[in-house]
Structure 1
Amino acid sequence: MPQLNPSPWLMILLLSWTIFLFFIPTKVITHIFPNKLIPGAKNTFTKTPWTWPW
C-alpha cells in the first residue's frame, strides 16, 4: 500500500514543521507596529444623548 511508505511523506512533514517552528515565529516576533502606544494619552469622548426621532 503506498500510504504506508513514509519516504515521500516524512520529508514533507519534517519540512513543514521546520517552517512552522523556526521561520514563522521569527517573522511574527520581528513585526514592527506602525504606531507607538503612549500610556499617558487618553482620549476623552463627550457623551451626548441621542434624541429619538419618533
Structure 2
Amino acid sequence: MPQLNPAPWFAILVFSWLVFLIIIPAKVMSHISPNEPATMDSKKHKTESWDWPWQ
C-alpha cells in the first residue's frame, strides 16, 4: 500500500511545518495596523450611582 511509505509524506510534513513556523509568522508580523491605538487621558471618569426607583 503506498500510504505506508513515509518518504514523500514526511518531506511534505516537514516543509509544511517550515512554512507555518517561519514564513507565515514573518509575513503576518510585518503588517502595520492603519489605526494605531490612541493613548487615553489619565483623569478618572466620574461615575454616579444609579437610584433604583423601587428601593
Q: State the TM-score bracket (shorter-chain normalisation).
A: 0.5 to 0.7
Unaligned 5+ residue runs, structure 2?
A: 42-55
Give the number of equivalent residue pairs: 41
Scaled by the length of structure 2, the TM-score of the pair is 0.63
Match of residue 39 from structure 2: 39
TM-score in terms of structure 1 length: 0.64
Runs of 4+ in 1 over 3 A off after TM superposition: none
Gaps in structure 1 of 5+ consecutive residues: 42-54
Please, what is the CA RMSD of the aligned residues? 1.4
Which residue in the other structure is 2:26 paired with?
26
